[in-house]
Amino acid sequence: MRRIPLTFLLIGCAHIQSAVGTDAPFKYEFASPEMDVDAPAPVSEDMIATLPLEDVSADEYAAFQAEAGRLSLHFERHCRLLADAMRQHLADVRMYENAIVRYYGPYKFYGVGHAYQQQDGRWMIRIARRFDGLNRRTLDDEMKTLRHEMSHTLGATEQRIGDEWSARDYAYRCA
Ligand SMILES: [Zn+2]
């Protein structure tokens, strides 16, 4: 397995988001039939794949708004908090066309989203529309990623810590 030159990667990450640098590490959500895993940090060739960002479509926006509305009435407190986060951050969601494909050991992973906080405190949330050129993700897929990424704005981590919900918990338990 190939070692990843970390310092170089951080430069690469800062570069892609260009305008404003960020202290926060990128968080890529990787989906595969087997599991969601923490992805290794992206390498320079991935940077190209993340460009260009696109605005949320009218259909997506309507669906995301509806999702926030649905979650605001959810019986779980966590999901209602997630609804608040969505209302606050939906304007900062951008889409990219294809997932970022990485090979990791025997697995092929599709990076379908990430979220990070800028130095000014503003959250950037990115969601992929497709796994690849042939396989479109459904709106439900995008919404699952939205829940996952939004939960990071509430401080959710990738792995469950004690009773705290992980981002994956938000993605699945608020479904
Ligand atoms: Zn995450």
Reported as a single tens digit per residue, the pLDDT across 120-134 is 888 888 898 988 777
What's the whole-number average pLDDT of the chain?
75
CA 42–ligand 1 middle distance (angstroms): 14
Tokens 């996952």 -> residue: 148
CA 19–ligand 1 middle distance (angstroms): 23
The 10 Å Cβ neighbour count of residue 174 is: 24
Using pLDDT thresholds of 50, 70 and 90, give the confidence band for residue 72: very high
CA 30–ligand 1 middle distance (angstroms): 9
Give the tens place of pLDDT for each residue, 131-154: 877 788 899 989 999 999 999 999
CA 29–ligand 1 middle distance (angstroms): 5
Using pLDDT thresholds of 50, 70 and 90, give the confidence band for residue 33: very low
List Cβ<8 Å contacts ≥24 apart for 63-72.
63/139, 63/142, 63/143, 64/90, 64/93, 64/143, 64/146, 65/90, 67/143, 67/146, 67/147, 71/147, 71/174
Using pLDDT thresholds of 50, 70 and 90, give the confidence band for residue 51: low
Give the tens place of pLDDT for each residue, 11-28: 222 223 223 333 334 445
CA 145–ligand 1 middle distance (angstroms): 9
CA 157–ligand 1 middle distance (angstroms): 7
The one-letter code for the residue type at 99 is A
Residue 165 pLDDT more than 80?
Answer: yes
Q: What percent of the chain has pLDDT over 70?
A: 67
CA 51–ligand 1 middle distance (angstroms): 20
Q: What is the CA radius of gyration of the chain?
A: 16
Q: What is the mean pLDDT of residues 63-70?
A: 97
Residue 54 DSSP label: B
Are 44 and 11 in contact by the 8 Å Cβ rule? The answer is no
CA 158–ligand 1 middle distance (angstroms): 5
Q: How far apart are CA 138 and CA 43, in angstroms?
A: 27
Q: What is the mean pLDDT of residues 165-175?
A: 93
Tokens 């000014």 -> residue: 120
